[in-house]
Amino acid sequence: MKTHPAIGRLPWRLAAMASALSFALAGPAAVRAAAGPDACTPAWPLWQAFGTHFIQPDGRVLDASTPRLHSSSEGQSYGMFFALVANDPAAFDRMWRWAVDNLAGGDIGARLPAWYWGKREDGTWGVLDDNSASDADLWFAYALFEAGERWRRDDYLRDARALLARIEAEETVELPGLGPMLLPGRRSFARPDSLWQINPSYLPLPLLRRLAMVSPSGPWARIADNTAALLAAVSPKGYVADWVAYRGASPASGLFVVDPIKGDLGSYDAIRTYLWAGMAPTSDPLAAPMLQALRGMAAATASAGTPPERVRAMTGQTEGTGPFGFSSALVPYFTAKKQPWLADLQRRRAQALLDESLRTAGPGRQPPYYDVVLSLFGLGWAEERYRFLSTGQVQLSWEKTCPPTVAR
């Protein structure tokens, strides 16, 4: 999901790339038909590039850099959010329909989406791991709620409510001495000896606020508070690990600990935690404490000029140079920390390397999926294409010029 190897030439990919390019070029016309004037669909070259390189005509988001030529619930859900930001309802619908049909067995009310789909050992295609990924499930629900309101799609709102009910029932847990928390998936993360694994990057504060708004009796407001407590507890040097754990010391108490299975490494997962903290609105009372807990990344990047690729959360030891997606992810973080010179430095580095990556991509060679995704989030935010409100709802730039019948 988050590796960056070059891929070999794939003859079958030529046709798919051509079809995807045709879709990307045809997309604006379809959007105009659904959404009205051109002002409602501001140009977003990076979104068009994402559609060209990663979205197949049927709505599958393909990461061709891996042997399984896989798709993930993460890729589908992120793509839907970007389609919302771009006001591209046709692409949004294709990606959601593909996810329901292929990851959820055609019924989102009956099961959570499988997280991993691709080419099997016998050459057939299908689900490779039917466990869920709760971060993708949150982004699915979030995108559906926001799109359903804007595009007057009651079916999206129904799907969002059905999915949210399953998330609450299957992916949340009551931790002793803490309260509710989101587990990374519906199974395998509640370990023996009262140990639970948690992924901090699965907990974007704006999404938790939005879900609390639509499910006020649910666990989301308390999960937001517990996320802030988690970051304060596991980041003694100002860095967060990819994975952390919570151990129940007794039926009424527990504490956050280094994950005994994954360790204290912070890298390709953890970079999103800084991104989410940077995009949280300053009006949210948890935004400042979260930024303070994550202070180490600012010091490391200021010292080296580039973000580290790997960090040991317990010692603060850093290694390597992060790819351009890391720089993109940190633009909102440095902006929120009122360090505009660092934000600008990372934005310029990210944009230059992104442009080069897109320029050299071609048939059989995708740009690095994860770096492009982080750039859509970070650089799209820097371009003020979207902002999160204190309610968790998203404010979109295209709504300023769209007629009231389109925008919420």
pLDDT (0 to 100) of residue 164 = 98
63, 74, 137, 242: the catalytic one is 74
Q: Residue 146 catalytic?
A: no
User: Which pLDDT score, from 0 to 100, does residue 252 have?
Assistant: 86
Q: Minimum mean pLDDT among 162-171, 241-250, 357-366: which range? A: 357-366
CA distance readout (Å), 121 to 69, 102, 115, 200, 272: 12, 18, 18, 33, 32
| Residue percentage of the chain with pLDDT more than 90 | 85
The whole-number pLDDT of residue 35 equals 38
Q: Give the model's pLDDT for residue 41.
A: 80
pLDDT band of 407, cuts 50, 70, 90: very low
Rounded to whole angstroms, how far apart are CA atoms 215 and 221?
10
Nearest to 191 by CA among 132, 134, 262, 129: 262
Domain ranges of the chain: 43-172
Tell me what the mean pLDDT of segment 229-249 comes to.
97
Core vs surface per residue 364-392: b (16+ CB within 10 A) or e:
bbbbbbbbbbbbbbbbbbbeebbebeeeb
pLDDT, tens digit, 9 for 90 and up, residues 356-376? 999 999 877 899 999 999 999
The pLDDT of residue 400: 87
Q: Which of 63, 88, 93, 135 is catalytic?
A: 135
Question: Of 1.50.10.10, 1.20.1560.10, 3.40.50.20, 1.20.1250.20, which CATH number belongs to 43-172?
Answer: 1.50.10.10
Using DSSP's 3-state secondary structure scheme, residue 72 falls into strand
Checking if the pLDDT of 200 tops 70, the result is: yes
Residue 74 bears catalytic tag? yes
380, 48 Cβ separation under 8 angstroms? no
Q: Residue 38's pLDDT band (boundaries 50, 70, 90)?
A: low
Decide: pTM greater than 0.75: yes
Reported confidence tier of residue 39, pLDDT bands at 50, 70, 90: low
